[in-house]
């Protein structure tokens, strides 16, 4: 299958608040050319009324890249989607999965699992406004909902409105009693429910999210008939997992990629971001702490960056200096 590139949703990196900003995505793009990257969740009003360059600006090197929107007003979501398309995003995604109190108070995120008709109206309004895909990321239910009817109702509503791609975090969200962090771990995973959803909706692209800690887990989901896997913490805590994505998941021709070369490329990026955007090097370096995870010298790499990057005068050279603490590693093409 080498050379037969699969669709971007085959492997995507989850939207993660406070993490998957443009600098994180630039780093991830050095590791994988084909994975679909998502922004952090951005509210529709922040897009409509905020500093758009700061809120949703990105580099063309990030493609394919999707903007995740939070909101519950169809017309506002449609306007934000139009702006996203004008900025050049490849997809807009509706957040129907975040369980935080702040999101609930705004009547969006996981609480929208209780309002499938409203989510359908948002999809309809957004699709009428843009030509790029409109997708939905959801849970299998919230609180005491039965995951069977809850997920089926949401799927039917968005499919009727023309949404063809649903990303399902295979856990319930408990809106009362669990923190957002606990909601990522405590509710049990139910992959069978997502598998059944795909079996009942063969024409939809169904992407599995939740608990996918390695590429073998993504490959297992694909083997069961799902259309893709979305990784979150695995990509952030052990980012080198993304270096195998292109050939293992997308069946793309293998490349020779080396962690030290990635550091050099990101040092150049950090220098440009500092010069052009006023970005402190810390904002780039913090995403790279796990790059050498599992290798001799990884602790020294993290320690050096942790000690030097808080200095507002720190330059991109701290990345090069930190990497000297890890022995060079040449990685042969697979």
E strands in the chain: 11-13, 36-43, 65-70, 91-96, 134-139, 165-169, 205-209, 228-231
In this structure, how many other beta carbons lie within 10 angstroms of the beta carbon of residue 229? 23
| C-alpha neighbours within 13 Å on the C-beta side of residue 330 | 1
The DSSP symbol for 136 reads: E
Please, are residues 286 and 309 in contact by the beta-carbon 8 Å criterion?
yes
- The H or E element that residue 155 is part of is helix 147-160
Question: What's the rounded Cα separation, in Å, for the pair 40 and 15?
Answer: 5
Question: What's the rounded Cα separation, in Å, for the pair 149 and 151?
Answer: 6
Question: What's the rounded Cα separation, in Å, for the pair 323 and 233?
Answer: 23
**Catalytic-labelled residue, pool 24, 98, 111, 138:** 98
Question: What's the rounded Cα separation, in Å, for the pair 287 and 24?
Answer: 6
Question: What's the rounded Cα separation, in Å, for the pair 281 and 322?
Answer: 13
3-state DSSP percent of the chain in helix, strand and coil, to 5: 50, 15, 40
Cα 137 → chain centroid: 11
98 is a catalytic site residue: yes
Question: Which residue numbers are catalytic?
Answer: 98
């Amino acid at each position: 299958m080498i050379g037969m590139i699969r669709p971007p949703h085959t492997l995507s990196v989850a939207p993660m608040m406070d993490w998957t900003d443009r600098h994180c995505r630039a780093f991830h793009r050095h590791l994988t050319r084909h994975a679909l990257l998502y922004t952090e969740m951005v509210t529709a009003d922040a897009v409509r009324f905020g500093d758009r360059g700061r809120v949703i600006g990105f580099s063309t090197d990030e493609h394919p890249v999707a903007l995740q929107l939070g909101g519950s007003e169809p017309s506002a979501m449609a306007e934000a989607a139009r702006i996203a398309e004008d900025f050049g995003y490849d997809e807009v995604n509706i957040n129907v999965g975040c369980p935080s109190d702040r999101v609930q108070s705004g009547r969006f995120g996981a609480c929208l699992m209780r309002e499938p008709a409203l989510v359908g109206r948002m999809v309809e309004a957004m699709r009428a406004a843009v030509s790029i895909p409109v997708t939905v990321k959801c849970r299998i239910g919230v609180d005491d909902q039965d995951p069977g009817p809850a997920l089926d109702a949401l799927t039917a509503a968005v499919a009727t409105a023309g949404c063809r791609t649903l990303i399902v975090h295979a856990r319930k969200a408990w809106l009362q009693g669990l923190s957002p962090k606990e909601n990522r771990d405590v509710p049990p995973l139910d992959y069978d429910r997502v598998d059944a959803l795909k079996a009942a909706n063969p024409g939809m692209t169904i992407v599995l999210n939740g608990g996918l800690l390695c590429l073998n887990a993504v490959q297992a989901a694909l083997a069961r008939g799902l259309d893709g896997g979305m990784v979150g913490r695995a990509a952030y805590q052990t980012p080198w997992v993304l270096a195998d994505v292109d050939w293992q998941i997308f069946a793309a021709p293998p490349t020779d990629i080396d962690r030290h070369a990635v550091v050099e490329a990101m040092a150049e990026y950090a220098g440009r971001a500092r010069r052009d955007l006023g970005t402190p090097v810390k904002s780039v370096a913090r995403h790279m702490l796990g790059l050498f995870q599992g290798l001799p010298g990884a602790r020294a790499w993290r320690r050096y960056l942790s000690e030097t990057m808080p200095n507002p005068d720190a330059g991109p050279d701290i990345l090069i200096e930190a990497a000297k603490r890890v022995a060079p590693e040449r990685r042969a093409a697979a």
